[in-house]
Amino acid sequence: MKALQATFLRELRAYFVSPLAYLVMCFFLVYNGAIFAAVVSVLNDPRSGGTERPMDQLFQGFFFWIILCFITTVLTMRLISEELRSGSIEVLMTAPITEVQVVVGKYLAALTFYCALWVPTVAYAGIVARYSHVDWGPIAGGYFGIFCLGALFLSVGVLFSALTKSQLLAAIMTFVVLVAVLFLIGLLDNLFNGEVAKQALGYVNLFGHMEEFHKGIVDSRHLVYYGSAIFFFLFLASRALEDRKWR
């Protein structure tokens, strides 16, 4: 447990000493600020007619999904591949720490930084609350959805980072896989009409989940889905790290 904690703190610190992290933070805030401003101005336009669920606008667009894939990729690409490339993995894995502890420690650091990225955006809700009535349920749901999606995407990123020595390759693979899977599921969902297929695809359709989340609905089936998927990817990542020994 001590070893996991030490790894977690080191990784978290590593984010804050690298210029990349600040660049990402700035970019992220400007980007989200722009989306927020756009959504507010659209909703303020008397011709738009308003919407029942304003969170849809904020958390459902193409721009939201792309930035989500991008941020999680950037946050994870370095995590393990850098250790493999520099060779620091050797002193790390000869310390009293297991592969699982390394993977989980690094993953939690990425997740913490990811959450920290989103914290300032709560201000948007605060701004809106000053001028009009805010329904906090869907907002909490939306943030919870963002947390779940991010946690899932980060676990995918950690896996690819453990598979290669090259940060760039890890980044490309993570990004491509996330975007491909995301849109493929959405596409298939629209393509099939069968009862069973619809149900199965609905279960894995991340767009669908997010839609429910920002209606303020938190379905326990989704929690099981995210939990097991994250577990699965992190498990694979720790196996990939172990596998290095046998090659």
Partner 1 sequence: MIEAHDLSRRYGDFTAVDGVSFAAADREILGMLGPNGAGKTTTIRMITGFLPPTAGRVTIAGRDLFESPTEVRRHLGYLPENVALYPEMRVEEYLLYRARLEGLTGGEVRTAVGEAVERCMLEEVRHQIIGTISKGFRQRVGLATAILHRPGVLVLDEPTVGLDPKQIISIRELIRELGRERTLLLSTHILPEVELLCDRVIIIDRGRIAAEGTPESLRQSWVGNPGLRVTLKDNPAPAPAVLEGLAGVLAVRSGAGGPGSFVLECHRAADPREEVFRAAVERGWVLLELAQERPSLEEVFVRLTTHEQPLEGGGASSAASGAASGAGDAGGAGGAHAGEAGAAGDGAAEPHPAAGGSSEVPS
Question: Among 38, 42, 93, 140, which residue interacts with partner 1 (rule: CB under 8 A)?
Answer: 93
Instruction: Tell me if 193 contacts partner 1 by CB under 8 A.
Output: no
Which one of residues 23, 30, 37, 95 is an interface residue with partner 1 (CB under 8 A)? 95
Q: Up-side HSE of residue 41: CA atoms within 13 Å toward CB? A: 6
Residue 98 lies near partner 1 (rule: CB under 8 A): yes
Judged by CB under 8 A, the number of residues near partner 1 is 27
CB 76 to partner 1: min, Å: 17
84 token code pair: 């493999």
Least Å distance, CB 20 to partner 1, is 11
Based on CB atoms, which residue is closest to partner 1, 82 or 212? 82
Measured from the CB atom, the residue of 17 and 196 that comes closer to partner 1 is 17
The residue among 96, 123, 120 whose CA lies nearest residue 7 is 96
Cα distances from 133 to residues 48, 122, 126, 136, in angstroms, run: 19, 15, 10, 9
| Contact pick of 45, 90, 135, 219 for partner 1 (by CB under 8 A) | 90
Region for 53 from its dihedrals, namely left if φ exceeds 0, alpha if ψ lies in -120 to 50, beta otherwise: beta
Radius of gyration of the chain (CA): 19
> Measured from the CB of residue 84, what is the shortest distance to partner 1 in angstroms?
10
Q: Which is nearer to partner 1, 47 or 247 (CB)?
A: 247
In the bound complex, what is the minimum distance in angstroms from residue 100's beta carbon to partner 1?
A: 11
| 96 binding partner 1? (CB under 8 A) | yes
- Considering beta carbons, is residue 51 or 86 the nearer one to partner 1? 86
* Stretch in the footprint of partner 1 (CB under 8 A) among 32-40, 85-93, 129-137, 162-170: 85-93
The pattern of x and - marking residues 2 through 31 that bind partner 1 according to CB under 8 A reads xx-xxx-xx--xx--xx-------------
- The DSSP annotation for 62-77 comes to HHHHHHHHHHHHHHHT
Task: Specify the residue for token string 């690409």.
Answer: 77
Evaluate the CA torsion angle 10, 174, 139, 127 in order and state its sign: positive
Q: Does 134 bind partner 1 (CB under 8 A)?
A: no
Question: Long-range contact list for 99-104, CB < 8 A, 24+ apart?
Answer: 99/238, 99/239, 99/241, 99/242, 100/234, 100/238, 101/3, 101/4, 101/7, 102/7, 102/238, 102/241, 103/158, 103/162, 103/234, 103/237, 103/238, 103/241, 104/4, 104/234
Residue among 7 and 205 whose Cβ is closer to partner 1 = 7
Binding residues for partner 1, rule: CB under 8 A, are 2-3, 5-7, 9-10, 13-14, 17-18, 86-98, 245-247
